[in-house]
């Protein structure tokens, strides 16, 4: 006569327990790996505060530290007096290094400040190409004063 083993009604089957602990452990390992990778990623963006001028147009942008921008356009004729018409707005730089400018009149512009991922090209801190949404027209802007001006030869000190 064979005796069948008694089955306990009050316990958790070992197979299900192993699957649950394994899944929780795998999720924990993936989370720990992502957390450690985020610490090694360094995002560099170009500091924008200051005045920028368009290369070919009478147009200037003043980026302020409080994420506001003032766009001022001058007269289109070169012999006309420079009567600048200011237009306030806001700006932001997203995770991918794209500058977004939204003016109060509804115009939206974008510019890529950082080089595409995977390229070794350094970002240009004194120039960007602003693209108008809808028309896709491009305007090149240059910083009016450099971020860190290079010291002149007379200011350089010789090394000991």
Task: Tell me what pLDDT residue 37 has.
Answer: 80
Which residues partner with 59 through β-bridges? 73
If pLDDT is split at 50, 70 and 90, which confidence band does 19 have?
Answer: very high
Q: pLDDT at residue 6 above 80?
A: no
Strands 127-132 and 108-112: antiparallel
Please give the angle made by the CA atoms of 79, 84 and 90, to the nearest 5 degrees.
145
Q: Supply the mean pLDDT for the chain.
A: 78
The CATH classification of domain 50-143, taken from the options 3.40.50.720, 2.40.10.10, 2.40.128.20, 3.20.20.70 = 2.40.128.20
Task: Tell me what pLDDT residue 124 has.
Answer: 65
Segment 29-36 shows an average pLDDT of: 88
Which residues partner with 130 through β-bridges? 139
Task: Tell me what pLDDT residue 80 has.
Answer: 55
Give residue-wise pLDDT tens across range 66-98.
989 998 887 655 555 556 778 899 998 887 778
As a three-state string, the secondary structure of 3-40 is: CCCCCCCCCCCHHHHHHHHHHHHHHHHHHHHHHHHHHH
Inter-CA distances, 22 with 15, 16, 18, 19, Å: 11, 10, 6, 5
Task: Tell me what pLDDT residue 102 has.
Answer: 93
pTM: 0.58
Are the beta carbons of 83 and 75 closer than 8 angstroms? yes
Give residue-wise pLDDT tens across range 92-135.
888 777 889 999 988 899 988 766 555 666 666 788 888 888 88
Segment 44-52 shows an average pLDDT of: 77
Task: Tell me what pLDDT residue 96 has.
Answer: 76
């Amino acid at each position: 006569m064979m005796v069948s083993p008694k089955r306990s009604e009050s316990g958790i089957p070992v197979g299900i327990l192993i699957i649950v602990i394994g899944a929780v452990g795998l999720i924990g390992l993936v989370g720990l790996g992502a957390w450690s990778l985020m610490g090694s990623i360094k995002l560099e963006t170009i500091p924008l505060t200051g005045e920028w001028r368009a290369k070919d147009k009478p147009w200037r942008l003043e980026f302020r530290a409080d994420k506001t921008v003032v766009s001022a356009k001058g007269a289109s004729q070169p012999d006309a007096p420079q009567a600048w018409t200011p237009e306030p707005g806001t700006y932001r730089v997203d995770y991918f290094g794209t500058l977004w400018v939204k003016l109060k009149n509804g115009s939206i512009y974008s510019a890529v400040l950082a080089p595409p991922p995977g390229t070794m090209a350094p970002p240009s801190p004194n120039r960007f190409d602003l693209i108008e949404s809808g028309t896709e027209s491009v305007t090149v802007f240059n910083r009016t004063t450099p971020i860190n001006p290079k010291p002149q030869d007379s200011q350089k000190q010789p090394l000991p």
